[in-house]
Structure 1
Amino acid sequence: MTAHGDAARTITTALPTVADVEAAVARVSTVADPVTVRPSHVLSDRLGITVDLVCEYRQPGGSFKIRGAANAVLAAAERGATGVTTASTGNHARAVATVAARAGLRVRAFVASSVSASRVRALTEAGAHVDASAADQTAAIGAAASAAARDGEVFVPPFDHLEVVAGQGTLGLELAAGHYDAVLVPVSGGGLAAGVGLALRAASPRTRVVGVSAERAPAMARSLAAGHPVPVPEIDTVATSLMGDLGPDNAVTFAVCREVLERVELVGEEDLVAATAELHGLGHPVEPAAAAGPALLAGRPEAFGGMRVAVLLTGRADTS
C-alpha cells in the first residue's frame, strides 16, 4: 500500500484505551486550551448540590470538539495526509476545519440541509468546502465517508472514531483531578461520553459518568436499552447538536459507552430552554445542547443530593 493509502485509512476497527487518551494529550495540547472550571454558587445553593461548570464552550471554535478534531487531524497529518473530509451538525466540522487549516490540510465538510446558515457560513470562513445537501446527519456522514474513500482522503467522522474518542477523553483526564462524585455529559453519538468515561474510569474510578440527551434525540438511550445501536428518526429539537443516531455501522462509541456510562437520562424541550436561559443569565453563552446537564439537575436534583457534580457545557451559542 502506498503512503497516501496509509494516510487515507479510517481507524475504526479497534476500541480506544486509556493509553490512546494519554497519547492524545500531546497533540490536543497544541490546539486546545486547558479545561476551565467555574463553581456555580447560584445553582449549588438552589439545588443543594455542589455544582462546577466545565466551560468547554470557551475552547477555540466554541466547543469541546476541538479536542477530538486535534487528535484525529494531527495524527492523519503525521501519517502523510494532505486532505480530510468530515461530517457534522456544525461544531465538529468547524473544529476539523480549524485544525486542518493550522496543519495545512484541505478540508471538506458534509452537513445536513437543516444546519443553520450561520454554521455553514462559519465553516466556509474556517476554510472548509461545504456540502449541505444531505437530508439528515446520518446521510451526511454516509456521503462524507463515500467521498473520502473515492478521493483518497482521510475521513474524520464526528464521533465514531478511535482517535476522535481518544481526543475527547483528554477532558476526562483533566477532570479526574477534581475527584467528582458525578460528571454529566451531553450525549448524541457518544464520542465525548465515551472518551470522558474511558478516562475517568481509569483515573477516577469512583466518579459516576451520566449521559444526558434530549427527549427528541434519544439515540444512545434507546440503543443501550436495546443492547445494540438502533436508528431513531431525526426530529427537530432546540438541542440541534444532539440530533442524529449512532449510525448503522457504529464500531466504537456504543461499545465504550455501554461500559463506562452509569446511565443516560433524557430532558425535555422546555427544560432545555429554561436551563439555557439561566446559563445565559449567569454569563455562560451556551447553545441549548450544552444545557442538557443543568436541565437534568434542575428537574431531578434529588438524584444528585449531597454530591459534587461537574456539568459539561459543551458548545457556545451561534454568534455569527
Structure 2
Amino acid sequence: MSPENLASAATRRLADKRAGPAPDAIPGAPGMSDVMAAAARIRGLADATPLVPAALSDRLGVELLLKLELCQPTGAFKLRGAVNAVAQVEGPGVVCCSTGNHGRAVAFAARQRGLRAVVCLSELVPQAKVEGIRAQGAEVHLAGRSQDEAQVEATRLAEAEGLIEIPPFDNAHVIAGQGTIGLELLSARPDLEALIIPLSGGGLAAGIALAAKAIKPGIRIIGVSMDRGAAMAEALAAGHPVYVTEVASLADSLGGGIGLQNALSYPLCAALLDEVVLVSEAEIYRAMQAVFHAERLVAEGGSVVGIAALLAGKLKLTGPAATVLTGRNVDMAQFKRVINGEPVTLGALELEGQHHEP
C-alpha cells in the first residue's frame, strides 16, 4: 500500500469511532484524573517547557506554535512519562526497552531515586543516544535489530532479576505523564484548533489527545509519522496491531513496533485521533533544515514530522495550531550532513543532498 493510501485508510478508520471502544471503556486506560495527578508528580522536574510562536508561521500561512519538549533536561518529552512511572515504583530497580529517548529518561528518573536502571536497545539506535543513556548511569543491553527483540530482552531481565519494567508507551503511568503536555498547551492557548503530534508507539499522541479532548472535545488531533515503518499508522489502517519491519530513518525516534498485544496506546489512539499523515525522508530532511535555519533549533527528525507535513502541503489548517518538537538528541554527524545539504545514507536508502531554500 502506498503511503498516501495507508494514511487515507488509517484516517477513514479513525472517522468511524464505532469501530472500537470509547477511551473510558478501555480496561486499564488512564483518565483525566491520572493526567492531573501526573502533572503534580512531575512538577519542577519535567514540566513547563516553552510554547513559542514559529518563525515559519508566515511561510505556512497559519499561526503555528512550537512546544519545545527538546528543552527537557534529558533532551526529549519522554522524561514526563518516565518520571511519573518511576515515581510509583517499589523495588530494587527498573528496566525498559527504548529507541533511545525513553531509556535516557528512565535512567534519569531512576537516578533521581537512587534505583538501578537497565535499558535494552536495538542495534539500530544511534550511538549518540546509547552514550547519553550510559551518561545517566544506566546499564545498556543491545539486543537484535528491532524494537521487538529489545523488548524480549527487557521482559527477560524483569523476570530474571526482579526489575520493574517501564514500557515506552503502552503503560497508563507513561501515557498520563505525556498527557501533561496537552494540559499545558490548552492552559496557555485555549484557542488552539489543532494539535500536530509525532506518532510512533502512541504514548505521546494518546496522552495529549486524552487531555486535550477532555478540555476541548472539538480540537483536531493529527498524528504524523515517517512513511516507512510507520507501525501505529499500519495498525490504525488494519484495525489492530500488526508487525512492521523497522528501517533506518531520519525519524529514528519514531521507529519500532507497537507490540502485537498493545492494550492501551493503540486503542486510545484509535478512539481519539482524527487524522494520520505520513511524510517522506526527503520531507523530513527539508523540515530539519527549516527548523534549524528559521527557528535556530537543533531538532531530531522525529520532532519535525509535523512541520514536514505542513511544508509539504499535506495538512490544511484554518486556525491556531501547535506541534510538539519532541527531542534534540540527534546523531550530530548525520545532523551536520542534513544542515549542510549533503547526501545521507539510511540503510539501503540513499537520500540526495539538498541545500536549504528559505
Match of 1:228 among 225, 240, 258: 240
1:14 aligns with 2:28: yes
SS at match of 1:300: coil
Distance 1:134 1:143 in 2: 9
1:24 aligns with 2:28: no
1:312 aligns with 2:324: yes
Contact 2:81 2:174 in 1 (8 A): yes
Deviation at 1:219, TM superposition (A): 1.1
> Match for residue 82 of structure 1?
92
> Match for residue 190 of structure 1?
202
Equivalenced residues, count: 304
Match of 2:59 among 23, 42, 46: 46
Distance 1:149 1:13 in 2: 24
1:298 aligns with 2:315: no
SS at match of 1:264: strand
1:70 aligns with 2:92: no
User: Any idea what the Cα deviations from partners look like across 1:273-294, whole Å, max 9, x if unmatched?
Assistant: 0000111112111011101010
Deviation at 1:20, TM superposition (A): 1.1
> Match for residue 7 of structure 1?
none
> Match for residue 6 of structure 1?
none
Match of 2:115 among 57, 81, 105: 105
What does 1:138-153 align with in structure 2 at a 5 Å threshold? 138-153=148-163
Partner letter of residue 65 of structure 2? D
Ranges in structure 2 where 5+ consecutive residues have no aligned partner: 1-25, 333-358
Contact 1:272 1:292 in 2 (8 A): yes
Contact 1:212 1:266 in 2 (8 A): yes
User: Any idea what the Cα deviations from partners look like across 1:189-225, whole Å, max 9, x if unmatched?
Assistant: 0000000000001012221110000001321111111
> Match for residue 254 of structure 2?
242
Q: Which moved more, 1:144-153 or 1:272-281?
A: 144-153
Contact 1:31 1:99 in 2 (8 A): no
Contact 1:182 1:309 in 2 (8 A): yes
Contact 2:129 2:329 in 1 (8 A): no
Q: Which moved more, 1:24-33 or 1:256-265?
A: 24-33
1:164 aligns with 2:174: yes
Deviation at 1:319, TM superposition (A): 6.7
Relative to structure 1, the CA distance from residue 66 to residue 302 in structure 2 (aligned partners, 3 Å threshold; closer, same or farther) is closer
Distance 2:163 2:130 in 1: 21
> Match for residue 48 of structure 2?
34
Deviation at 1:53, TM superposition (A): 0.8
Deviation at 1:150, TM superposition (A): 2.0
> Match for residue 4 of structure 1?
none
Contact 2:127 2:331 in 1 (8 A): no
Contact 2:66 2:325 in 1 (8 A): yes
> Match for residue 9 of structure 1?
none
> Match for residue 280 of structure 2?
268
Deviation at 1:13, TM superposition (A): 6.0
Deviation at 1:46, TM superposition (A): 1.0
Two-structure CA RMSD over aligned residues (Å): 1.5
SS at match of 1:303: coil
Contact 2:143 2:149 in 1 (8 A): no
After TM superposition, which residue ranges in structure 1, 4 or more long, deviate above 3 angstroms? Answer: none
Distance 2:278 2:315 in 1: 16
Ranges in structure 1 where 5+ consecutive residues have no aligned partner: 1-11
User: Any idea what the Cα deviations from partners look like across 1:219-248, whole Å, max 9, x if unmatched?
Assistant: 111111111111111111111001111112
1:60 aligns with 2:73: yes
Deviation at 1:141, TM superposition (A): 1.4
Distance 1:176 1:285 in 2: 25
Distance 1:217 1:263 in 2: 18
User: Any idea what the Cα deviations from partners look like across 1:158-185, whole Å, max 9, x if unmatched?
Assistant: 1111100010001111111212110000
